[in-house]
Amino acid sequence: MDTTPFIANVPDSAITDLRDRLSRTRWPESETVDDWSQGIPLDYVKQVCDYWATDYDWRRFESKINSFEQGLTTIDGVDIHYVHAPSPEPNAKPLIIIHGWPGSVVEHLDIIEALRNPTAHGGQADDAYHVVVPSLPGYGFSGKPTKPGWSVPRIGAAWVELMKRLGYRRFYVQGGDWGGAIAANMGYAQTETVAGVHVNLALCSPEELIKLGEPTAEEMAQLGKFQHYLDWESGYSQQQSTRPQTLGYGLTDSPAGQCAWILEKFKAWTDCDGHPENVIARDTMLDNISLYWFTATAASSARLYWESFKDLLVEFTPVTVPAAYSCFPADLFTMTERWARTRFTDLRYYSQPERGGHFPSLEQPERFVTEVRQGLRALR
């Protein structure tokens, strides 16, 4: 197995540099509204950045992630970082969980044990998985591609190779955000190795929905949500899909800028009743933001949009492997079951949890684990 053990260990000098940069932040003026409609409010960013500089403990996070087996392996010229958590159950099945942007492996660390060892967390032995959580190329502790071409299909092929190196010839795939897009791609391009997919973000063709006849009131609302995203929530994606390099200069140099760029999404994309810390702890958000900062991956992570975003909302190749879809209500896009079936042709599980948004493993971890267990159980 061509892999190297990995331990997270940021130099003390990098932590000192972060705190120094935060102390010297040149802040803009305050927003002219009393809400988040112009972006993340100045007072909140200042509050979080002050905490980041004075009270946040990166070493705590390093201890947490280092409690798991981690490795690096070079695939197609890029070093890939992964967390690997084999199950103690003899009949466990392999599962790869794929994150997106602005997420990372941080999203899934707290749900690994429940999936790996379900009998110790209120589950059944039949729901045990050998869990693999990789960092996307250009994200986190993975290497940064130096040449173009790392699009969704190429990443999917890389994950097949990764799982092969870990000894898994056939496996299940779970994903949201870019992870959902990669899972869907693997569900039609890698059918010999993918036993089934579970997604918490599905992208399906509006045209195919219209072909089914008059949309229901729920579907009209979902189409309206999609249009709202295009009109009001997609500015970040326009920048990242057209000029990721330009964006990288500011975010790689300014921790306050990197913090604001990501932190705003933890409010806008979660089911949080108006404040992100209602559903995600500040330390957890800063674990994720710090991972972007210390690895200087603002530009490299954004390049995935340059590579693939133009296809994301127009490419709806049918997914033919058994599939499950957990449609969390506050996600960016939501689809009814019949709409989802226009793409996921063997959809065996569909659920609409009462709460949750774009980061369900952080917002509603217990429900997310239940959804993964029930969804994958339906695929067996």
Q: Hey, what are 203's tokens? A: 């992208």
80 to 71, 100, 299: CA distances (angstroms):
8, 15, 17
CA distance 60 to 135: 20
**Residues designated catalytic:** 177, 305, 358
- Hey, is 142 helix, strand or coil? coil
Q: Hey, what are 188's tokens? A: 């039609």
CA distance 344 to 202: 9
What single letter denotes the amino acid at residue 285?
M
CA distance 266 to 359: 8
What single letter denotes the amino acid at residue 206?
P
CA distance 321 to 379: 9
Q: Which residues contact 83 (CB under 8 A, 6 or more apart)?
A: 65, 68, 69, 70, 105, 108, 109, 112, 131, 132, 133, 134
What single letter denotes the amino acid at residue 330?
A
CA distance 326 to 201: 8
Q: Which residues contact 104 (CB under 8 A, 6 or more apart)?
A: 135, 139, 140, 288, 291, 292
Residues in the chain: 380
CB atoms inside a 10 Å sphere around CB 148: 9
CB atoms inside a 10 Å sphere around CB 370: 18
CA distance 131 to 121: 15
CB atoms inside a 10 Å sphere around CB 152: 22
